[in-house]
Chains A and B, each alone.
Chain A
Amino acid sequence: MKLPYERPTIRKLTAGALNKFGPRAGATPTTALDGVRVEELVARFGSPLFVLSERQLRRSYQAAVRAFGTRYPQVQLAWSYKTNYLNAVCRTFHQEGAWAEVVSGMELEKALLNGVPGPHILFNGPGKRRADLERACAVAAVIHLDNADELHLLLDVAASRPAPPRVALRVNLDAGSYPQWDRFGFNLENGEAWQALSRVVASGRLELVGLHCHIGTYVLQPSAYATAAAQLAALALRCQRKLKTTVQYLDLGGGFPSTNTLKGAYLPATDTVPSLDEYAEAITGALLAAGFRTGELPLLVLEAGRALVDDAGSLIGTVLATKRLADGRRATILDFGVNLLFTSFWYDHHISPARQFSDQTEPTVLYGPLCMNIDMLRESIALPLLSAGDQVVVHKVGAYNMSQWQQFINLRPNVVLIDQTSQVHLVRAAETLEYLQQLEQVPVHLQS
């Protein structure tokens, strides 16, 4: 067999520290996703291409339910809409039983269109307008109050409602993690939260059903969640005791990390990030020990997003060119950049070649196709000797990329879902110029 040609490379020889596992032997290629060959996917749907694994979506959801559900009697996941807007993804989770967590009027409508009953929608977010609140009340969604102005606005809206809207209070507290997130909700330590709770209950126009706390994102200490859960539980018990109001659920928010490595981390996330089971153990342990009477434990709600979807998304891209930079480093230009892989601002994404190469690798900078200096995907990554036309697969890109992607310089590509029987479904077609210009209007004097 004729071996494939690989371009020559020159590397500085570094002895490096001795490694008892021996030298790493090249990069493991990813030739197929869920049983479908990458080549075939590119041939059918072009490049770049987002690929979602329905199997992984369901497995991740089930794993989260299992982690919490086998430790606590009542657990409900609420799919955080902003993590991935694709209806196919949302509906997969809803089929598995997830509620919806939305943060804007648009997301609220989206959840409703996906068939989520109003009472199963948790309306978070710091920026709710009057119309959003009215709509939320009309569909009986649960409104998570973020600030006092919103509370007053809602009280105003509630005055004209036949039934009191159901609300939960967003609480921020010192859970021992740094930095402390204090911009969402009412602060617990300075008494703001209790004041707001008293106001909600005393108004008689709102039905308090839950307490919410989101201590941050990509929080690496399970103990922080334990602290938050314990404090939230104490607040719920205080509500019961002093305000004679039973809090039906405690929402511990999301923020569970995925196994994507943060930029600047010393070790890969797969080695350092605690498993979801550790978070579950911390949270449920704190709640079970909080002093609720048996049978009166509140429902535990989790607004997982990243932990559910990140692993299920992959991005296939193609090498457009390779070049050598002035300082001698290798640079590889791909057909996707930060416009599609927004999360590359935070993560050192794991990227594999899509075919077998020799064991030789070289460090390279990965650039996207944007004519912008910021468009750098990886500052340095060891990849085989890629040439123009080779495909690469970026792993764990399911979270945030398909909602924060930009239509900038390039149009957004196809998104496909591979179902559990390895059938490929196009779930979002590539954008066209026509689509882009659909909403534009050219003033008459510019039309000639």
Chain B
Amino acid sequence: MPTLPTYFRTILNSYSMLFFSQHRGLGGLLLLVSFAHPLVGMAGLASTMLAVAGARLGGFNREWTDRGAYSFNSLLTGLALASFYAPGTALAGLVLVGAGVALLLSVALGGWLSGRGLPALSLPFVATVWLLMLGSAPLLHLLPAEANIYWLNEAYALGGPRLVNLMQWVGEWPWPPLLATYLRALGSVLFQDNALAGLLVAAGLLWHSRIAFSLSVLGFLGAYGVLLLAGPAGSGPLEYNLGANYIVAAVAVGGVFVIPSVASYGWALLSVPVTVVALAGITAVLSKLGLPALSLPYCATALLFLYVLLLRERPGAGLVLTPVQRYSPERNLYAYATDRVRLAHQGTVAFTLPFLGSWRCTQGYASGGPTHLGAWGQALDFAIADADGRTYHGTGLALSDYYAYNKPVLAPADGVVEEVVQHIEDNNIGEVNTRDNWGNTVVLRHAPGLYSQLSHLRAHSVPVKPGDYVRRGDVLGTCGSSGRSPEPHLHFQVQATPYVGSRTLAYPLAYFMAVPATEAGTAAESVRQGIAEAAELSGGFRQAYSSAGWAPEPVWAAVGPGEGGTDGFPQLPPVPRLHHFDVPRQNETVSPPTFNRTLSQALRFPPGYALNVRNPDTPDAPAQRWEVFTDAYNLTYLRCQTTGAVAYFAGDESVFYFTAFYGSEASWLYLFYQAAYRIPLVSLPGQTTHDTFPLSIIRNPALSWAQDVLAPFYRFLKPHFRLEWAGGAEAAWPGRPVRLRSRVTVGYFGRERTEQTAELTFRDGLLTELRVKQAAREVYLTCSIAGA
């Protein structure tokens, strides 16, 4: 059934695609503007419909088809042909052929260029029009169109004298010449030569994207400036119908295929003189053949500017090619800005702590410690310490007095045993064996060029041998005190080479719980939060998402203060916090997290898993079905079968998080996306998990438009996600319902406004309830597993 609506949606998409958009408002406006010359508009619409139908029947890439990527060249061809030639059956036939050729060329050129990571742009249109112009001349005797000249006649036929008056009034409006030229240039994208058409297009462009609009102005003014330097302004190439080349090139280079930024705006500006030269050169060559330059100069410039970026060996942080095209410069930018931090570690090998229980990091990365120096600095030492900071009980003169001694040492990740040394005797306490510096050691290979080394193991404690395949958590031996080890401790490092004692590689651990060294003060806490916040700026891997909260509430809330005579809990045991992709710091007490089985099971979402979602307030309404799929890149997403909305998600054993959302923001799936943006799969009563949303979630139009304009340079809005446990400690029980409360806020200039609060209930390994409260509405949803 949804065939017909998608068909018309695709047609609108084809129109908005002229400005690299999927904005239906813009598409509608462009469609309207194209009908300023009804015949031209009809030719454009007809060839679009043909191309869309052809692409669908032809079985070409459905995604591209639906976006209009195969049909916008046909649209341009139809518009161009109808603008150039007088109406008649001959023109109709030509449009038909043109639509077909443009479609074929779109598919062919698109396929060829996409293999090189480049877009086909409007090259198929240019080629088709040339072909038809050259080819039709000997075959058909087409008269040049007069509509462009006597366009008032058409307007009269269409809307009577009133429309003529309106159009005359607009046409004679004393536009500043520069503005008029800009608007006519924009209008010329649809082969229109009047300011009103341009005004509508500009409005549509602004509606679609503030960044694209600002780039269009930048491109136009840049061209104006260049031509001003070159000679008398307003002459030659700044003619309205060619001015579009600067504008579209600037938008493409500065905002669509490159993430908008200060650098991309500079890059767009830089493209202008190139387009000027290309335009002049191409026009000069083509005029000898009697062919128009059309949009070729823009295509040439844009492809040149993109291809060189693509060929960089060391892409900088300034000019970033859009990783995933979201057809909106704003969305591209906002997604990139958050993903750069949030998804920085996708694809890395997930290392975990190589032991059980709580250990203290006795020497961290390059902490100036006694032994982790220079190229060997990115290593970690662990020992077990009690609350007094001692690593032993009794006198500490025997190995067995040490808590760490003989405790199991685990594989930090799946891998193959590369090397085993286990013949070196453990030292007496206080002695070091500098001859066999590393002592008993296991080296694991996790990936080509990625090894981990565990050292100072107890003599003859290693149950594995080289070549064995080990899984994360398998026992590799026990902690000892061999090698350069005055007391039992574990040395852990990641390295790029398979040898014992290779130089170290800084590599984060996927997840661990940590209690900071100085538990007492909130000072340490604020420092950590500061680090987490500064991370976006610094870009190192320290950013992580420490689930650092504000003041932790006592787990045992019922154990009231005052019992001990002092207020509060001066000696409350410290609450460990969950860290993701972080490195333990010196003196932190770290432990592996204990996963909450209810959450782990409910949010595992294997492909094929489906949920039926209902609103119990309207029991008669059919359930929406959310199903899990994987895409060609093996990325998993939830798709709402009713609305077509798609939410990409990712995660590991310790966390579930959404990575992207596409589709209607009115859908229930969007509520879930916002409510469950990040959920640690660990029982963390009393703790708050934080995350950052892309700016595209902002609903307030005034704020978001203001932000959009400034976004490439400065982002003042801070959309924030918080999640905390609503239920008590019993939720940690396997099989008990888990209730989580999340909040979406937008912070700006020191203020914070709540956009949405939600409560999620998980029961029996399933998301069962979702309550969402926004300013205007409240939604209550229940979920159940969809039957096979």
Contacts and interface: CB of A to CB of B under 8 A. Distances in A.
Nearest to B388: A59
Interface in B565-595: 565-566, 569-573, 591-592, 594
Contacts of A115: 556-560
A91 B357 contact: no
Query: What bracket does the count of chain A residues touching chain B fall in?
Result: 35 or more
A97 B357 contact: no
Interface in A101-123: 114-120
Given A88-B563, A419-B571, A423-B566, 13 more contacts: A58-B573, A59-B388, A69-B591, A70-B359, A91-B563, A95-B569, A115-B559, A117-B728, A120-B733, A294-B474, A419-B564, A425-B564, A425-B565
B357 A69 contact: yes
Contacts of B729: 117, 120
B512 to A, nearest CB: 13
B466 to A, nearest CB: 22
B471 interface: yes
Contacts of A69: 356-358, 591
B573 A70 contact: no
B573 A97 contact: yes
B129 to A, nearest CB: 63
Contacts, number: 102
A127 B570 CA distance: 39
Nearest to B559: A115
A350 interface: no
Interface in A395-448: 417, 419-421, 423, 425
Contacts of A140: 730
A63 B386 contact: yes
Given A95-B569, A117-B730, A71 B386 contact: no
B559 A95 contact: yes
Nearest to B406: A281
B18 interface: no
Interface string B402-420: 0110011000000000000
Interface string A61-75: 011011001111110
B38 interface: no
B656 to A, nearest CB: 17
Contacts of A97: 555, 573
Nearest to A121: B730
A311 interface: no
Contacts of B592: 73
| 7 shortest interchain CB distances as A-B pairs | A115-B558, A70-B357, A119-B730, A69-B357, A117-B730, A115-B559, A70-B407
Interface of A: 54, 58-59, 62-63, 65-66, 69-74, 87-88, 91, 94-97, 114-120, 140, 166, 207, 209, 248, 288, 294-295, 299, 417, 419-421, 423, 425
B570 A421 contact: yes
A59 B386 contact: yes
Given A94-B556, A207-B735, A70 B403 contact: yes
Given A59-B387, A96-B573, A420-B571, A70 B356 contact: yes
Interface of B: 355-359, 384, 386-388, 393, 403-404, 407-408, 471, 473-475, 554-560, 563-566, 569-573, 591-592, 594, 728-730, 733-736
B633 to A, nearest CB: 27
A66 B564 contact: no
Given A66-B403, A419-B571, A420-B571, A118 B386 contact: no
Contacts of A118: 730
B48 to A, nearest CB: 55
17 contacts: A66-B357, A66-B358, A69-B356, A69-B357, A69-B358, A70-B357, A70-B407, A70-B408, A87-B563, A88-B564, A95-B559, A116-B556, A207-B735, A294-B473, A421-B571, A423-B564, A423-B565
Given A66-B403, A425-B565, A74 B594 contact: yes
Nearest to B394: A275
A71 B571 contact: no
A70 B355 contact: yes
Contact of A72 (B356, B358, B572, B591): B356
A248 B357 contact: no
